[in-house]
Structure 1
Amino acid sequence: MDSSATDVATLGHRIRHFRTAAGLTLDELGARAGVAASQLSLIENGRREPRISMLTTIAASLGVQLADLLSPEPPDARSALEIELARLQRGSLYASLGLPPVKPTKGTPTETLEAIVGLHRELSRRATEAIATPEEARRANTELRERMRAQNNYIPEIEELAEERVRASGHTRGALTHREVSVMAEQLGFDLIYVNDLPHSARSITDLASGRIYLPPASIPGGHGLRSMALQAMAHRLLGHERPDSYADFLRQRLEINYFAACCLMPREAAVAFLQQAKQERDLAVEDFRDAFGVTHEAAALRLTNLATSHLDMTLHFLRVGDDGALYKGYENDGLPLPTDVTGSIEGQVVCRKWGARTAFTHTNRTTELYQYTDTPAGTYWCATQTGSTSAGGFSISVGVPFAQAKWFRGRETTVRAESRCPDESCCKRPAAGLASRWAGQAWPSARLHAHILSPLPSGSFPGVDDTEVYSFLEAHSAS
């Protein structure tokens, strides 16, 4: 039920409220206002929207002001329950149950209405928790990736917002400092509080009532990440996010806050000037971009995907690949044939063994970037790949472009070249004929089962967050 229908329902209840308060029947009010009692009944039941001229006459007949009838507030608690019940029963969730609507009468106890509405609220809450099956989550992520690809991974309105907030912090050049991030928070009415007892399921918590953003201790390794976490928390407020009502909405919000944080840490004006100068000198390099703004290699590579097409006039691709060959993040608008499943999802798919994203793991000096040309069925691509590791294992970050665009990048002179025929399985997914004939039927490996395969997707209003822990944390800190 939309807001206009809700307004009509509220109007009907207010007319009935003032009519009964005046001790008038439908026939008596109709006689005074010159309106048929049957028509008044339809109006009071929210089934017909009267014209202003008729409402003016009805208000005069009831001895009240027109504004009294048009107020958006229900006239009393009982009416509020009846209006909410009607709204909930007209929704798609209740319709999907195939149950008849409950029509309250004068004799329906208010306690009964409270119980029915309470059940509806709980049903709605459970249905709108951000829960998704793996397939639903993958489809939602694929749709979001395709939408961003269509706009070259660029969101101009967030770029403008970030530029405005960074300028307001007093930042002029170089890397955005922790102090400037704190100033941005203060300008929004928030204090940054560093604590040791954040719930394990939350990276940060914003206390909207007290104007506090709780973050991990500033002394933790990789402290630059704290700037990003604080900026992401602020972004929810600046972008007007509401509690996500679906997994797709949750993913969109997460993308937007990450985008905002990247825009602040690598502001468009300064970042574009830096990249354009490097392109002019034919010396583009993710590592230089990373060091100039004091961010991680991955953050710099992703930010390049935001700016390259809109401001450098080039298409490109980005890959984060695990040391097992699985693709964890990916973006392309240059035609690189990324592996996909039947839903179009790329996450978890295994990339070709010949790509630089995987051959970099065998690179002798893994502290430097690997440059490589790769011939694919879609054309020849150049890429620069840097490897790293976390407690979960090794990973690689690759940024690449079509052959014609390699001339702008450092490392274009590399002689490393490979040929990939994927998705043809004879490329790298089938063992060589000699190996197969020797070992087929002679091997019995014990497979490593990844725990996440059996794990359900996290549930809750904010996926993966334990509400009990969060509320207990806020309660404990509310007195401090």
Structure 2
Amino acid sequence: MAPESTSTLTQAELDRLLIGKRLRHFRTRAGLTLEQLGERVGVVASQLSLVENGRREPKLGLLQAAAREFGIDVAELLKAEAPDHRSALELELERAQSAPGYQHLGLPHVRAPRTLGDDTLEALVGLHRELARRSRAAAETSEEARRVNTELRMLMRERNNYVHEIELLASDLMRRIGHTTGAVTHREVAQAAELLGFTLIFVDDLPSNTRSITDLQHGRIYLPPASIPGGHGLRSLALQAMAHRVLGHSEPASYAEFLQQRLQINYFAAACLMPEERAVEFLQQAKRNRNLAIEDFRDAYGVTHEAAAHRFTNLATQHLDLRVHHYRADGAGALVRGYENDGLPYPIDSSGSIEGQVLCHKWGGRTAFNRTNRTSEFYQYTDTPAGTFWSSVQTGDAELGPFAIACGVPFDEAKWFRGRDTDVRKRSTCPDPACCRTPSPELLQRWQGKAWPSARMHQHVLTPLPTGSFPGVDDTEMFEFLAKHAPES
């Protein structure tokens, strides 16, 4: 058997191949040849063969006619699972060879005809599984995560944090459930799930390292009974789980692919909760009134402050002609994540990563914690070596401690925002050590060499990310959970 040239199948082609294998399975079980079935359904055998091999899209009429001949419901032919072990292996081999990791190797694409022995097929699939496992093991380190995060941040910066394709998919889903304006309700999210073939199930025993679990076999999305710490609302969690199907995701073959999928599902959920057309109308009107405010945007759609700030960055450059920045920092001033296309000079390490880097003490994300009353928005102008920037900051407390959410623009664009009249202004010269990292001469003279702190070390500094198909998730724990909650056969 000679290997074929390198090729890749799209998700649609893999779906066609699955239907073809189910059609062949039931035809064989019924004891019919291609010619016999073709005569009964009015299709020549060569055309049926193309359908069974996944090379032609089957018409619904053909599937309905074939199902009648097999004595089954047409839904049996459309199930998203392989009909037998051999077919499952053949499909897994196709998916493995269509994954980016295998494509990058430049190796030939091997088909699996019926003449290929089961043992040989098992060996090929086993080799691909081990290749994927070793690739994940090599990649799942904090260093790799920072590198990939930096690449994704640069990519989104080039796109002004806007993804038109996902906007269209989100708008279409909201249109199909009849959502027109205002906050998306929990009932509408449940309707969206039903439209995609899912039922939302709320449980109180999700594995500790999961936010949701989707049972693809039974069409169930398991969610916690209430919002989990950190501001992830149930509506967003459910929409993120649905996004994998809408966006055609398959099991990630690398940590980079895993993080890219996370970025895409978060974007999709936000675009559903704050649909582009209405959200843009809301923001454009606020800009005309010179009254843009993240808190108003947040309240209009019933989302978290961070979700509103991030969604604002999706739309601000594309629709408002504004260059922006947005970041989250913890109570110690360490950056958790950030985005900018306005030139705000984030602190970076030698690889260009910003995660874990400490903000200047004079930036709004640090000075906002100095207030006695932290319930309201905090506004500040900050002079930096790259120019002057205005920021709006909201502080809060989460399970892991206090945090600050900042969103802002260059000085000249502050005129469109509420809070532009603030008289709070700081001057930052970081990364110059003299700005905020060098103690005053008096303090140095008094304390240098006379103190010895015990530093708190973040776990991720030395610990690789947990391995598994989905980093951080224990497969055994997840499968035991699914077995416990699966409906009776």
Structure 1 residue 223: Cα displacement: 8.8
Paired amino acid for 1:293? Y
> Residue in 1 aligned with 2:419?
411
Q: 1:241-252 maps to which residues of 2 (within 5 A)?
A: 241-252=249-260
Query: Which of 126, 130, 133 is equivalent to 2:133?
Result: 126
**Distance change (3 Å), C-alpha of 1:420 and 1:2:** farther
**Distance change (3 Å), C-alpha of 1:178 and 1:341:** same
**Distance change (3 Å), C-alpha of 1:180 and 1:460:** same
Q: Distance in 2 between matches of 1:199 and 1:236?
A: 20
- Uncovered stretches (5+) of structure 1, i.e. residues with no partner: 8-63, 97-109
- Uncovered stretches (5+) of structure 2, i.e. residues with no partner: 9-44, 55-85, 106-116
Structure 1 residue 122: Cα displacement: 4.5
The range that moved more, 261-270 or 223-232, is 223-232
Paired residue secondary structure (1:329): strand
> Residue in 1 aligned with 2:383?
375
Structure 1 residue 444: Cα displacement: 1.3
Larger Rg: 1
Structure 1 residue 69: Cα displacement: 12
Q: Distance in 1 between matches of 2:7 and 2:171?
A: 40
> Residue in 1 aligned with 2:402?
394
Q: Deviations over 1:167-197 (max 9, x none)?
A: 1111121100000000001111111111111
Q: Distance in 2 between matches of 1:70 and 1:415?
A: 70
Q: 1:304-453 maps to which residues of 2 (within 5 A)?
A: 304-453=312-461
Q: 1:153-232 maps to which residues of 2 (within 5 A)?
A: 153-218=161-226, 225-232=233-240
Q: Percent identity?
A: 60
**Distance change (3 Å), C-alpha of 1:201 and 1:66:** closer
> Residue in 1 aligned with 2:279?
271
**Distance change (3 Å), C-alpha of 1:3 and 1:313:** farther
Moved over 3 A (4+): 1-7, 64-73, 110-119, 128-131, 218-224
Q: Deviations over 1:352-409 (max 9, x none)?
A: 0000110001012101111111110011111111100112110000111100000000
> Residue in 2 aligned with 1:28?
none
Are the aligned partners of 1:163 and 1:268 in contact in 2 as well (CA < 8 Å)? yes
Q: Distance in 2 between matches of 1:149 and 1:269?
A: 22
Q: When the two structures are superposed, what TM-score results if normalisation uses the length of structure 2? A: 0.76
The range that moved more, 393-402 or 132-141, is 132-141
> Residue in 1 aligned with 2:31?
none
Paired amino acid for 1:143? E
Structure 1 residue 121: Cα displacement: 4.1
Paired residue secondary structure (1:351): coil
> Residue in 2 aligned with 1:474?
482
> Residue in 2 aligned with 1:42?
none
Structure 1 residue 202: Cα displacement: 1.0
Paired amino acid for 2:423? T
Q: Deviations over 1:288-340 (max 9, x none)?
A: 11001000100000000000000000001001011101000100000000010
Q: Distance in 1 between matches of 2:50 and 2:189?
A: 49
Are the aligned partners of 1:286 and 1:301 in contact in 2 as well (CA < 8 Å)? yes
> Residue in 1 aligned with 2:467?
459
Structure 1 residue 345: Cα displacement: 0.4
> Residue in 2 aligned with 1:294?
302
Paired residue secondary structure (1:273): helix
Structure 1 residue 133: Cα displacement: 2.1
> Residue in 1 aligned with 2:14?
none
Query: Which of 151, 161, 168 is equivalent to 1:143?
Result: 151
Q: Distance in 2 between matches of 1:134 and 1:122?
A: 23
Q: When the two structures are superposed, what TM-score results if normalisation uses the length of structure 1? A: 0.77
> Residue in 2 aligned with 1:12?
none
Q: Distance in 2 between matches of 1:195 and 1:151?
A: 38
CA RMSD of aligned residues (A): 3.2
Are the aligned partners of 1:383 and 1:401 in contact in 2 as well (CA < 8 Å)? yes
The range that moved more, 211-220 or 303-312, is 211-220
> Residue in 2 aligned with 1:257?
265
> Residue in 1 aligned with 2:76?
none
Are the aligned partners of 1:382 and 1:403 in contact in 2 as well (CA < 8 Å)? yes
Paired residue secondary structure (2:214): strand
**Distance change (3 Å), C-alpha of 1:69 and 1:330:** closer
